[in-house]
Amino acid sequence: MIVKAGLAGLVAVAAALGAGYFAIGAAGHADPAADPAHFGGLDYVKLEPFAVPVIEDGALEGYVLTELVFTIDAHTKASLSVPPEFFIREDAFRSIYGEVAVDFDNLDRVDLEALGESIRGNVNARLETEAIASVLVQRFDYVARGAIRDNAVREQP
């Protein structure tokens, strides 16, 4: 009787160890296609948010707070001598500051897809390669100058 209980215990321990070994082994062999960095050879890069001043008739009216994300070919990114983030941020700044006609009272009407496509095309032309696959606008908010001042006054003790 004791022998049967001992054998049953050994079988249970062996089964638990085998299941644990199999679970760890299966987790170690993840599908590389599921990894976003390897999906299609593209890397996903999120830029730090930045502000673009809005100047009308020589006066500062407010700021556009912008946050961009872009996808880039991983092999090309590794071969570039200058990080593409600098070019994307600079082109976005130029586009928002001077070239894009933006109605800041109706920001929902800004064609963000066209803005991203314009930035992508300009940066690829400067890099002389089609490295940038897409530029996406994650944030595009207008903050009026008066709102900044009002917040600063409210935060004073």
Give the tens place of pLDDT for each residue, 99-138.
655 666 666 677 889 999 999 999 999 989 888 999 999 9
pTM of the model as a whole: 0.65
Residue with tokens 């890069």: 45
C-alpha angle 55/59/65, rounded to 5°?
A: 40
CB atoms within 10 A of CB 141: 13
Lowest mean pLDDT among 82-86, 95-99, 120-124, 148-152: 148-152
The contacts of residue 135 (CB under 8 Å, 6+ apart) are 68, 69, 70, 88, 92, 116, 117, 119, 120, 123
pLDDT of residue 108: 61
The contacts of residue 118 (CB under 8 Å, 6+ apart) are 95
CA–centroid distance for 75 within its chain:
18
Residue with tokens 């001598």: 81
Split at pLDDT 50, 70, 90, the class of 14 is low
pLDDT tens across 21-43, in order?
666 665 555 554 445 544 568 89
C-alpha angle 142/107/119, rounded to 5°?
A: 85
The answer to whether the beta carbons of residues 88 and 135 sit under 8 Å apart is yes
The answer to whether the beta carbons of residues 88 and 100 sit under 8 Å apart is no
